[in-house]
Amino acid sequence: MALGTSAWAASIYALPGAFGAQAAKPGSVVVLKSVSRPSTTTPTPTVSPTPTPAPAPAPSQKPIVLSEGDSISVFWAGNHTGIYARNTPGVTFFGKAVGGSGIKGGNSLEARFAADVALKPNYVTILIGANDLTGYPSADDWLDTLWAYVAKWKETGAKVAVATVLPTCLPQFPAATAEHATRRRIANAAIRAAVSGKIDAVIDYAADPVMGPDSAACNRMLYSDGLHPTDGTAGDANGQGKLAVVYTAAVNGMINR
């Protein structure tokens, strides 16, 4: 049965506990309290901080190559050492050879050793013998001195390449030229045999078919005075340019192993 307005209102008033703890009395005003509802507002998302990019790795250090020796290796643009440094920007190169040097003595590899070690080379190249190979009682005595010097470098952790001794052609000193030729054959055989033992590589100039034979030093296109290879600035046609080809192959081979 449908209820009229008065009857409907009375029924609400008569429902105990409908809007409070006690039923409302007839004729009183009922105040409806609003019921809190959960907010429907979408929360603002928290913005994640932008991650800090990792620092770029530092570039790897260039290998350091140090050359020691006598006037045949003195560092300049037309020398095999200068040619190598110019053509190999991926290395840091120190040319420390000094004219007139031997292994020991006042002007020598030994005398410069402390200053050379301070440069902390990873690779050391040695060409020596033009001035002092015949100054020892025998080729073996010279070799013993060379190996003692090389051993000091090996103790630093550096890898060492030793060059075979070049020829000389000094007609004004025939006995010295002949003795040098005899001793360099002994020395060069020992240097080659020392690879993977006393030394890490050989720079085998003496095996080069153009620069290595005894007679090559008498060719003034290759050796300006019978001792010093000619200027290599123009390329590998002259003495120092040909040495640079052999030097580059040996040193880069040692670095890349």
Please provide the DSSP assignment of the chain as one string.
Answer: -PPPHHHHHHHHHTSTTSSSSSPPPTTPPPPPPPPP----PPPPPPPPPPPPPPPPPPPPPPPEEEEEESGGG--STTSHHHHHHHH-TTSEEEE---TT-BSSSSSBHHHHHHHHHTT--SEEEEE--TTTGGGSSSHHHHHHHHHHHHHHHHHTT-EEEEEPPPP---TT-HHHHHHHHHHHHHHHHHHHHTBTTTBSEEE-GGG-TTTSSGGGGG-TTTBSSSSSBPP-TT-TTSHHHHHHHHHHHHHHHHHH-
Per-residue confidence (pLDDT) for residue 29, from 0 to 100: 44
Per-residue confidence (pLDDT) for residue 49, from 0 to 100: 57
Least confident of 45-49, 83-87, 138-142, 153-157: 45-49
- Confidence check: pLDDT of 129 > 60: yes
Q: What percent of the chain has pLDDT over 70?
A: 77
Tens-digit pLDDT profile for residues 221-240: 999 999 999 999 887 889 99
Which CATH number fits the domain 64-256, given the four candidates 3.30.43.10, 3.90.400.10, 3.40.50.1110, 3.40.50.300? 3.40.50.1110
Tens-digit pLDDT profile for residues 59-73: 558 999 999 999 999
Tens-digit pLDDT profile for residues 192-208: 999 989 999 999 999 99
